[in-house]
Structure 1
Amino acid sequence: MSTDLSLDRPGSARHGDPRFGPALMIAAAMSLTYLLGALVAWVKPFSASHGMQLPGMTRVLILSVAASWVVVLVIWVAGLRPASDPASTGRLKHALQAVSAAVLILPFTVEDLHRLTQHPGTALICLPSTGFALWIAYQVQRYHRIPVWLLLALFGWGALVAGGFGGAMNFWFQELAPVYLQDAPTLQDVWDRIYTGLALNASIFEELGKAAGLAMAYFLFRRQFSGIVSGLVLGASVGLGFNFIETVLYMNWTDWGTAGFQYWMRQSVGLMGGHVAFSAIAGAGFGVARQIAEPLPRRIAVGSGLLAAVGGHFFNNIVLLAVRHTEPDWLPSNGVVNVLIAQPLLLLALQGPFVVIYLLMLRGGLRTQVLGLTAEMTAEAQTGRGAITAPEIDVLMSPSRRLWFTTTVLRRHGPAAYRALNRLHVAQFDLAMQRWHASRKDPGDQDASVEALRDQVLRLKGRQAVVLTEAREAEVPA
């Protein structure tokens, strides 16, 4: 098993090859972290709120996590066989690593899946606003776009895996904190420590859970991390998933206010802040790392994004906890004014700067993309190979012209021609992006893949010509 967790060491893998070893290490680290919390609770009895009787879902999770290690051991003992063909051995090892990572991650989905089956109506209420935000995240990619399936996969990770992992680690803290923090001079000091610790614990483990999904995507689908724009979008997708499942939880947990208030704050005025903003900034770190050749600066880029996410999350948590428990005088006594004006203004003050930061990064990333992709498309057109021509560049690099062109093809020649044209545009952007990676000597990219992408564009052009011919022939009256 590969244990190299460096971010895309140059030459360590062919372009686009998934790296299952680091993905397995991430899954193992999450699983062992949870088991460590369970071990601490077993060594020193937790608070008397449950006595020694753990909640049912916690017992299921502990047993599932422990059983996942047994399953992984059986998989490796039964599956790893000596083979004379090194290529077959490598493929088998990759398959075992991928299956093992999935097995270790699966237990963290249990609680959130259970929650969704308990409250399907709440989930359906939250889907339109969350779906609209996902659509916005997809649309802001004006040029090279991440596949929809990867956005949905990261959304699912945020909702099921990161949500389950973060909630499980928060549970351990809530149960253990009264035991380990009770030596403070006064009861108020005890509660101050607990509130501060809870805010910090949630910030660290929730952001680590979301970042683990980004890291998995980085190692398994590195080609899709084209730069800061893709990192921001994937990070926002993870955050939207986490915010979705958290909204379902809090809308059915009356201790934190009414369901309507939670929907208003989490799915309306605060939808693109909070978890979305923090995770977007963490994702930007991975996007920047994709374009850095040296290992240390890559780690600094990823670490800086994660540190900003954890810091912002902690500051947001600690202030909101303080407001909730102290009810300061500056909050209006009028409930309507408080909900419609004061609370949104508080969110704006806490989360607004992070929204501004990721929007500025998005703007800068798109401008950089325009310059880089235009230069590479121009260079490709000058080769005369036909994959990208000079007239096509004007259409490709203008979202409004591209929309008009594809809509015209749909109206005149039908859905088949429209789909063929969209596939061609995607492949042309992939070719230009790969040329850009190669020209900058981004880690893990080789010039040889440019030729393969060029051949793919030419095949799609041939297919588009066939589809257009068939459409025109169908339009001719018999």
Structure 2
Amino acid sequence: MSTNHPGHPGGHQPYPRPYLEPAANPTWIGRVQPGNYQPAPGNPGTLPRQTWAVPAAQPRRSPGTLPLLLAGGVLVFGSLLLVVPFLLGNTGITGFVVGFVASLIPLSVVLLTVRLIDRWEPEPNRLLWFAFTWGAAVSIAGTLLIQPVFALAAPTTSEEAFTYFMATVQAPIVEEFTKSLGLLLLVLAARKYFDGPVDGVVFAFTIAAGFAFTENILYFGREIASSSDPGTDLVRIFILRGVMSPFAHAIFTGTTGLIMGFAARRWHSGYAVLAFFIGLLPAMFLHNRWNSMGQDFLVDYFVVQVPIFLVAALGIIFLRLAEGKLTRQRLLEYARAGWFTPAEVEMLATTRGRRQAIRWAASRGRAAQMRAFIKGCTALAFTRQRILSGRDVPVHQHDELEHLRAIPALRAAVLT
């Protein structure tokens, strides 16, 4: 049965609102209000027909993420003019080089994790680069500029009291604020790609990875430059920061990204700003708790910090499973409209099914084509989710038609 809505191929009337297909809300991650629900546009031909009519009226396209990337590039360049001399002044050239190389190890661990989280519906590389450079340069520069204000308010009764204040008050507030500003810019200027909690976690982890990378250069390089036993002290600080806590900043900022991602599900710029400030609270709290660990560091680490890490890991796994359920439901709706077979939906909606499909395609020399087909179908499912969420519906309906136009060709590339 064709279940098209006006303006889409076929032109049949939709079911009367607030009709909502059974199981259209597979989990809380993809809730759809009945008033926003629209049946999927029907396929006017039979599988695998590759052409169909396109509506004459198309919405006006926005400049996309180009303004964000240009502004980000300018900010990064200006920030490096402040950050690089600061690092060299504290580490020296030798310390800087050693710190840079050593910092690549924990950075690789975090970015590999980001890649694993982001594999289901990958974010554009240009936005991930924006997030990383924001964390590595802009947020560091912002921290350096704001720190002196807090230093004026810090207690001066002793060096210990001053250091403790800067570590437990200044660092959590300033660092989380400057890192999360990048998240706010992404959700406001690239909201097409920032539309759920997984996106929030991915962008937050990437920003935090950049921040920790630059901070590690400082810490590692400073041990080389100022220690009487640089080798031993470098190993000690590397174990602490590179082995025991490579995800510390990621988890802090990840809480902000998670909350902002949930707010992005029901788009409104006011929700984004409110979620930004709400999300800062747990991030600052976790950062404060980490920096407050003193003589009982190992006890606090294993009793408090390790469980927090495990809860974060389980939460990310749950979000990934929810993404699969969401993909399955949205593609089932397209299957009922004639775009996919049930077998294709089952293959596309599970990690195991995707792996088997890629292995089968690889045996025929079509692995790259199968990956492109999977990526296109996943993008289609999430585009439909944006439509059903009521976010920028005309723009995303245009994107939906573009995806539908491409799907038959992507399928044919695998099968031929």
TM-score (norm 1): 0.64
Distance 1:143 1:344, change over 3 A: same
3-state SS in 1 of match to 2:393? coil
Q: Is the 2:252–2:283 Cα contact (8 Å) retained in structure 1?
A: yes
Is the aligned partner of 1:128 residue 2:105?
Answer: yes
CA–CA separation in structure 2 for the residues paired with 1:294 and 1:467: 40
Distance 1:279 1:250, change over 3 A: same
Q: What residue number does 2:359 align with?
A: 407
Q: What residue number does 1:394 align with?
A: 346
Distance 1:466 1:102, change over 3 A: closer
3-state SS in 2 of match to 1:412? coil
Q: Relative to total residues, which structure has the larger helix share, 1 or 2?
A: 1
CA–CA separation in structure 2 for the residues paired with 1:304 and 1:379: 35
Q: What residue number does 1:337 align with?
A: none
Two-structure CA RMSD over aligned residues (Å): 3.2
Q: What residue number does 1:222 align with?
A: 191
3-state SS in 2 of match to 1:289? helix
Is the aligned partner of 1:240 residue 2:214?
Answer: no
CA–CA separation in structure 1 for the residues paired with 2:330 and 2:267: 20
CA–CA separation in structure 2 for the residues paired with 1:445 and 1:374: 23
Is the aligned partner of 1:162 residue 2:116?
Answer: no
- The partner residue of 1:371 within 315, 321, 325 is 325
CA–CA separation in structure 2 for the residues paired with 1:463 and 1:378: 18
Is the aligned partner of 1:436 residue 2:385?
Answer: yes
Supply the AA of the counterpart residue of 1:268.
V
Q: Is the 2:386–2:396 Cα contact (8 Å) retained in structure 1?
A: no
Is the aligned partner of 1:199 residue 2:168?
Answer: yes
Distance 1:169 1:231, change over 3 A: same
Distance 1:430 1:312, change over 3 A: same
Runs of 5+ consecutive residues of structure 1 not aligned to the other structure: 1-13, 21-93, 332-342, 470-478
3-state SS in 2 of match to 1:252? helix
Structure 1 runs (4+) greater than 6 angstroms displaced: none
Q: What residue number does 1:422 align with?
A: 371
Supply the AA of the counterpart residue of 2:252.
F
Supply the AA of the counterpart residue of 1:366.
R
Q: What residue number does 1:75 align with?
A: none
Deviation, 1:398, is: 1.2
3-state SS in 2 of match to 1:223? coil
Deviation, 1:290, is: 0.8
Q: What residue number does 1:152 align with?
A: 129
Q: Is the 1:144–1:426 Cα contact (8 Å) retained in structure 2?
A: yes
The correspondence of residues 27-42 of structure 1 with structure 2, limited to 5 A, is: none
TM-score (norm 2): 0.72
CA–CA separation in structure 2 for the residues paired with 1:16 and 1:245: 37
Q: Is the 2:131–2:203 Cα contact (8 Å) retained in structure 1?
A: yes
Is the aligned partner of 1:289 residue 2:236?
Answer: no
Distance 1:98 1:235, change over 3 A: closer
Residues matched between the structures, number: 346
- The partner residue of 1:252 within 221, 236, 245 is 221
CA–CA separation in structure 2 for the residues paired with 1:374 and 1:460: 16
Identity %: 20
Distance 1:124 1:431, change over 3 A: same
Supply the AA of the counterpart residue of 2:343.
P
CA–CA separation in structure 2 for the residues paired with 1:136 and 1:107: 29
3-state SS in 2 of match to 1:222? coil
CA–CA separation in structure 1 for the residues paired with 2:130 and 2:363: 32
Q: Is the 1:270–1:347 Cα contact (8 Å) retained in structure 2?
A: no
CA–CA separation in structure 1 for the residues paired with 2:320 and 2:405: 27
CA–CA separation in structure 1 for the residues paired with 2:380 and 2:402: 10
Distance 1:435 1:350, change over 3 A: same
3-state SS in 2 of match to 1:236? helix
CA–CA separation in structure 2 for the residues paired with 1:237 and 1:315: 22
- The partner residue of 2:116 within 126, 139, 159 is 139
Superposed CA offset, 1:2-48 (max 9, x none): xxxxxxxxxxxx8984688xxxxxxxxxxxxxxxxxxxxxxxxxxxx
Superposed CA offset, 1:74-101 (max 9, x none): xxxxxxxxxxxxxxxxxxxx96x87566
3-state SS in 1 of match to 2:192? helix
Is the aligned partner of 1:462 residue 2:409?
Answer: yes
Deviation, 1:211, is: 0.5
Supply the AA of the counterpart residue of 1:123.
F
